[in-house]
Amino acid sequence: MKRKLYDYLLSWKDRYNRKPLIVRGARQVGKTYLIRQFGEAQFAHYLEINFDETPQKAEIFESSDIKQVLEYLSLESGVPIVPGRTLIFLDEIQRVPWLFAKLRYFYEKAPEIHIIAAGSLLDFTLAEHEFSMPVGRVEYLFMGPMDFPEFLESINQRNILDFIRKWEPPNQIPLPIHEKLVEFTRTYTAIGGMPSAVDAYIKTGSFQQVAMEQTSIIQTCRDDFSKYGKKIDAGLLRLTLEKIPQLIGRKVKYVEIDRDKKAAEVSSSIRMLQMARLLYCVHHSAGNSPPLSSEKKEKDFKPLFLDVGLMMSSLNMNITGLLNKGLIAANNGAIAEQFIGQHLLYSGEPYKERQLFYWNREKRGAAAEIDYLIQTDSTIIPIEVKAGVTGTLKSLHVFIQEKSTAQALRFNLAPPSMTNLTIKTTQGHPAQCQLLSLPLYFISETERLCSLVKADTDR
């Protein structure tokens, strides 16, 4: 399975100001597989240490003399450490927190050495241990589940992927091609992007095998609770992990998770699952002007789960029975919103942790909500997600009316289209908005297609 981050690793390898790289991501998103694949293919020598399996090897790094550390590493492993030709991979580095501080010496005293570190619960380590982080001397790479294009490539649908990447509006898509693409979207939605689930589908074609892998991943995540710290409420964490998939697309109210617990306790549980990267909080923003984070409401948020396939598994959905036209529309459209959200979350530059926002107006008798707000250059674009081929745009009209936005985006299962909307604003003058409607399978092309439409509109 080729991951898009492989190309980023290639650019990192040859960069003149390269720093030790720390790969961050949830358990089982494929961090170790990617780095091992990269190391074995791109370097003459590859040295891997897993501190979960061999924590005693941390002693090798205790010296502040990096040349001595490298000598010891080579002696212990039998792997030559040659500048530019050897990759050192430190896996599960969270087991030895003090080693983070040591990475600065590789940058300062041995910058010619390629070194990558990774771990599944790094955020806990960074938050709980007191040590001097090598700020400015390491760089990060954020990794999530496989996205839809990576899935298509893994099942040998390169032609389909090339078509998606080359399509431009307002070109029409023949209905048989559109239906084929929608079918692939449904399949991805059922499987999700966790590599072991995708691998099970590739090797067996069995959704039962996929479901078994998904269940195993969720159980592994629960087993990790003991690693979250000493003062945890394992029961509340388990309940929160169980409830979150049911709350996708809705503003979180703590009583919906556990009405018998204090808000602070539920909030802590959510924060821990965030640190484990099992869920992400999409915060409310007023959306008046960029940056969206400047008008963020910390207490108002909707959750995203780690992966749409795991979401389906957590909800105990019968995948085989749902692999029809109602699959994505199931659960009141929350599945489509999860699909779009997890792609938006990992669509930016991989070295930068992305923030997602939504907008709503809680007004009795006139409530409105926009599923996502994104920012391209200096433009804020509202995104509506619909699970079927139709759906009203009442909330979008309200947003355009209040913000006078010139561009909007809708994702659904219908063929692509473009519509010019003219809506009277709250100031009384008409606002012109270009609405681009895209099928869900174009999610990875969001930025490119929005730019094309904007350029065409500006002309």
In the chain, CATH 3.40.50.300 covers 5-142
Q: What are phi and psi of 452, to 5 degrees?
A: -65, -45
Q: pTM of the prediction?
A: 0.93
- The alpha helices in 192-262, defined as continuous H runs, are 195-204, 207-223, 234-243
Q: What is the pLDDT of residue 427?
A: 73
> Which pLDDT score is estimated for 317?
81
Q: Give the per-residue pLDDT at 432.
A: 87
Q: Which residues of 183-212 are buried (b: 16+ CB within 10 A; e: fewer)?
A: ebbbbbbbbbbbbbbbbbbeeeeebeebbe
Banded pLDDT at 333 (limits 50, 70, 90): confident
In the CATH scheme, what architecture does the domain 5-142 have? 3-Layer(aba) Sandwich (3.40)
Model pLDDT for residues 418-431, shown as the tens digit of each residue = 999 888 877 777 88
Residue with the bigger pLDDT between 209 and 388: it is: 209
Give percent of the chain above pLDDT 90: 73
Other residues' Cβ atoms within 10 Å of the Cβ of residue 146: 27
**pLDDT at residue 425 in the model:** 74
**DSSP code for 61:** G
Give the tens place of pLDDT for each residue, 4-14. 999 999 999 99
Q: What angle do CA 172, 173, 174 make, to 5 degrees?
A: 115
* pLDDT tens string 148-166: 999 999 999 999 999 999 9
